[in-house]
Amino acid sequence: MTSQATTTQTLVQFEKRHIMPIPENERTGSVRSLFAIWVGINMLPLTVVTGAIATGSFGLSIGWSIVAILTGNVIGAFGAALHASQGPHLGIPQMLQARAQFGFYGGSLLAVIALLMFLGFFASILIVAKDSLLAVFPDLNPVAVIVVFAAIGITIAVYGYDLLRKAMVVLSIVIAAVVVVAMIMLWFQPAVTTANPEAGFTVAGFFGMLAIGVVWQLAYAPYVSDYSRYLPKDTGPKQAFWATYLGLVLSSVFVMVLGVMLGAADPNNPLGAMGSLLGPFGIVGLLVFAFSAAMINAAELYSGVMCALTAVNSTFRRVITSRTRVITTLVCGVIATAAALAGESDFVTTFQNFVTILLYVLIPWSAINLVDYFVIRKGEYAVDELFQRDGGRYGRWNAIGLSTYAIGIVVQIPFMVTPMFTGPLAEPLGFIDVAWILGFVVSGLVYLILTRLFGKPEVAVVAQSAVTAQR
């Protein structure tokens, strides 16, 4: 009995650290495993649907779709990878670090925003995974499918990082093989290769898809350090950066291009096109996508829980334990599953609105975090003080960070281009979405200037392992 328990513990270790810093002797991650995580996390039917927006919704040709997707992902992943490089140095989850820029309580506001994003993606992935399975077995009960897939993701998230990491390594290889074969087979399908006379290049469509590529990558920024914090400190930020960057770009572009091809064949149902065009292999591919999505989806829930625990830790005077993490995982999983069950109708339009709004709210945080880490503090943080209820040197509320974030949101409003709202300055620009560019630049500059003018002087600190906070 003891031997079996020991073996099980060795194969899959139950996570106990939650939001606390990862000690050096428990950092079991490697550059290869980090790369596999970010390759695997994009091997989703949701990535396929996102790529299909280029040809299906924006009406771009296959060539221009690929250029827009490649450009957007290359730009967005740079920001996400810069955030990932912070993990090995500080050893803490990404959004907990927001306390340094927004204060102990102010950081919770940003953590809640990120939590809503993670739950939104968890729900979206459940819906698309369900669609993949129902494309093969249309008589299945969609509610039951969503519930079962949600249970798989919740279970993996409960176990935590170690099971996630090991599952990603296997899944990334299996799904990559499926995508490669599917793309080769699609090039021999006239429905894909025959040029659509209405498809081509439009400025609004190109930049709209480019913006979706950017936000797809920046959506990972609030949790890249959740995984890179498991790298040994000696591994260094450079390895964390490149493992994250290459993993995100290669997998995102790779799978989105499959979506571009399927969207060209059937703009309204790209996943259904995979089954109808590729015959038995398409059916196998849809099954692989469906069940792998249920497993990979655990990463969204896991990082959402890190954000939820950050907010809980700020709001309630209680110690975060493994029991707290498990209960929070179950609660967040149930909420996201309920959202999936309620949001099945008109999914593509709803999801497109979701990612567009997500870009606007993530951009100011990303700019503030990167300027604070790389320009102002140069990576030197008192990690122990991030866990103090008075915020230590970072305070309870950071007026500079919070006001800059508000300015970053407001400055984007006149230029926003969404189905729900279009800013007054969008039409003169041909409805090209430049709001996110302005939001990033203005947020970074304002935060830098205000901090230089009004920020409290701090003595240099060395990033600590938060030994005090762990007690």
pLDDT along the chain (471 residues), means of 10: 43 70 77 85 83 86 92 91 89 87 89 85 86 86 92 88 76 83 85 68 86 84 83 84 93 90 83 84 86 83 85 73 86 90 64 68 90 91 87 90 95 84 81 82 95 70 42 39
Interatomic CA distance for residues 214 and 77, integer angstroms: 7
Interatomic CA distance for residues 1 and 298, integer angstroms: 30
Interatomic CA distance for residues 46 and 122, integer angstroms: 10
Residue 129 is predicted with a pLDDT of 86
Interatomic CA distance for residues 44 and 289, integer angstroms: 6
Residue 410 is predicted with a pLDDT of 94
DSSP state of 312: H
pTM equals 0.81
Residue 343 is predicted with a pLDDT of 67
Residue 8 is predicted with a pLDDT of 41
Q: Are 445 and 439 in contact (CB under 8 A)?
A: no
Residue 9 is predicted with a pLDDT of 47
DSSP state of 223: G
Q: Is 12 left (phi over 0), alpha (psi -120 to 50) or beta?
A: beta
